[in-house]
Amino acid sequence: SSSCSVATSYFYFLLHYLVQYKPTKRMVTLWKCFSTRSLSSWHVAFWRSSRTNKCKLLMKQTPETLDGRGTSPCQTRHLTGHASFTIDNIAEVIKHSDTSRVLVMAGAGISTASGIQDFRTPGSGLYYNLQKYHLPYPEAIFELDFFFTNPKPFFEYARELVPGKYAPNAAHFLPALLHRKDKLLRMYTQNIDSLERLAGIPDEKLVEAHGTFSTATCTICSARHTLEDIKKEIDEGTVPRCREHGCKGVIKPDIVFFGEAPPDRFYMYAQDVSETQVLIVMGTSLEVMPFAGMADEVPSDVPRLLMNNNRVGSFGIRAKDVMQTGDIVASVEDLVARMGWDEDFKRLRAEWTIRTPDERTKYC
């Protein structure tokens, strides 16, 4: 019923608010249990709008200071009212952090510089460009009920993301550089474009929270398939079908749809957030749970760096929050320069450009 839906959504929002601002051990445990349960798309949409409005209300009451303004395409923003912790402090923390202690979270915004659409930009985002498929609402493309009814829109989208069509940019190479410097604890990505893999982040350091195109599963017989098994059909714009014993079921890439649980590896975050010495968040709206909740679960004394087009989530509330707003690639290059790793960064990117196409995609 509608009243039950409203009550459930309000409970979801209230629980998330309490965990962020008035956490207790019991409350956090309850949140972890509740946030992994399946919610209808209506609940998700309702919670998102409620959370956005709440954040706007909170930020209206928060003093804001800006520094770093000028000709730079990225700006350093502090909303604690003190601006005592800066991007230079972040650079020093990363340089002098212990082995494998830098945690990275990333969303679709890091891939826009590679030519891949994000989801929500008005007039150009993925959801806007899906209007030609006459979806009941944009998010339907990632809902199982709609997929089983009409899988073609999803595979039209999939054709654009098959590994090999796009190249990683500076934002993908930053965690790869951190790995090479033995600083990367883990990278958690919402992306399904595999550009993190292409940049050189190994499996043990990468968690694809929303799944991957590298493997696929038949929706009827559950037979396992690889990307190569279905790549031809995807390239041709047709729906791949299972050939196991004449099954003919639709083969769905192992992408996490709304209502599906994240991969088991995702839950390593519970340990990772307690071990990290600095958190870097790039190119995400921090709206999709449980991924978004990770940023609030790192200890309160851990520095958090946001590199994004705009402020999101609870960033700006903690004393050691630093926000680089504006162009993400420019923000990444600025951070690398402040750490004195420019030459290493150039060398890493140059190595990628001389690889053969097969070498670039062999891990995807």
Binding residues for Zn(2+): 218, 221, 242, 247
Q: Which of 78, 210, 225, 245 is catalytic?
A: 210
- Is residue 259 within 8 Å of 147, Cβ to Cβ? no
Q: Measure Cα distances from 53 to 57, 161, 223, 224, 308 in Å.
A: 6, 32, 44, 42, 19
How far apart, in Å, do the first and last CA atoms of the chain sit? 44
Q: Which of 270, 279, 259, 107 has its CA nearest to residue 196? A: 107
| 78 classed as catalytic | no
Q: What is the CA radius of gyration of the chain?
A: 21
User: Could you give the angle at which helices 227-236 and 152-161 cross, rounded to 10 degrees?
Assistant: 110
Q: Looking at the annotation, which residues are catalytic?
A: 210
